[in-house]
Amino acid sequence: MALRHWITLAVLVLLAVMPPVFIWMGNPFYVDLATRLVILGIAATSLNLILGYGGLISFGHAAFVGIGAYAVGIPAYHMLYGGGEAVASFNGMFQIPLAVAVSALFALITGAICLRTKGVYFIMITMAFAQMVYYFFISIEEYGADDGLVIDMRSQLPFIELDEPLQLYFFCYASLIAALLIVRTIANSRFGMVLQGAKGNNERMVTLGYNTYLYKLTAYVISGAMAGYAGALLGNFTTFISPEMMDWSRSGELMFMVILGGAATTLGPLMGSAVFIIIEEVLSNYTIYWHLPFGLMLIAVVLFARGGLMGVIGRGRDGK
């Protein structure tokens, strides 16, 4: 236990200290890498709530991220180019809540349908809804369709200047800490216990008088809203959004981050996204064929490293 806590602390401190060091060393690109890592860490953490603790294998989580990003891009687009007065805004106090609200609503509607199914049908129907959003944005000519949309102005927030790489980074970092705390609190609450109970044995929880469908739906909505928030950050970070970010392979990558780090652990998804991004960066520097070693690593992790990194570090996979 102690080791795990030390590692947790070390990772979080490292993430807080390294970016200013990168700037000081004249390596702003590594700050970009760290920002991407932290944002994907939030998205993976949100997925962990339903996948890790709830056992709900969502293969469409990238859709929430994409919706969140478009909730930043579309208001900014209208603010610059006119039209859509109702949403036109550069104000982050409007854009970010919009991202959370729309993705929560999308999660509520699709979750209500998806949760009627089980097993592999659930995997595939979540993917189907993500593909629908993907093609939906491809079909909208005004927002760039396949070409994507450049966000010319980042969200305007009081006291924080998102155009400053370090301020943007620490805004994301603070959001990450909040996301980790939220998921941890939920997981350890009575609500989380019911959720994990339903993952192990749904019938038993139903017999005990819990409406597990409602519990799962609530978790699904919270998870979707958090992923939407991560999407709003991602839009502000990349200043470019396209349907591509909702492609099914992106959802697969998020799943991989959770599993790689360790599902149903607080820090696992963050560790997973860190390792994912670092390995991707290192390998793609060496060869354009980097997908080959990457794929082999993925297979190896699935075959041999059960419980992910956190499992290897010292805690067995729970719930099973």
Q: Cβ(247)–Cβ(83) under 8 Å?
A: no
Contacts with another protein by CB under 8 A: the residue count is 61
Among residues 31, 18, 43, the alpha carbon closest in space to that of 250 is found at 43
Smallest separation, CB 118 to another protein (Å): 7
> If phi over 0 gives left and psi between -120 and 50 gives alpha, with beta otherwise, what is residue 21?
alpha
Q: Which of 24, 25, 85, 249 binds another protein (CB under 8 A)?
A: 249
CA distances from residue 296 to 200, 255, 259 in whole angstroms, order as listed? 30, 16, 15
Burial class from Cβ neighbours inside 10 Å (0-12, 13-18, 19+) for residue 211 reads exposed
Strands (E), the chain: 149-150, 240-241
| Of 294, 288, 252, 289, nearest in space to 275 by CA | 294
Place of tokens 């060496």: 286
Which of 141, 190, 209, 286 is close enough to bind another protein by CB under 8 A?
141
Residue 140 sits in the site that holds another protein (CB under 8 A): yes
Q: Does 242 bind another protein (CB under 8 A)?
A: yes
Residue 201 engages another protein in binding (rule: CB under 8 A): no
Instruction: Report in angstroms how near the CB of residue 218 gets to another protein at its nearest.
Output: 20
Measured from the CB atom, the residue of 8 and 168 that comes closer to another protein is 168
Position 6 contacts another protein (CB under 8 A)? no
Is there binding between residue 81 and another protein (CB under 8 A)? no
Q: Is 313 a residue that touches another protein (CB under 8 A)?
A: no
Tokens of 179: 């996301």
Q: Which of residues 17-76 bind another protein (CB under 8 A)?
A: 27-30, 32, 51, 57, 59
Q: Contact positions toward another protein, by CB under 8 A?
A: 27-30, 32, 51, 57, 59, 113, 116-121, 123-125, 127-129, 131-132, 135-136, 138-141, 145-148, 150, 152, 238-240, 242, 244-245, 248-249, 252, 255-256, 259, 284, 288-289, 291-292, 294-299, 301-303
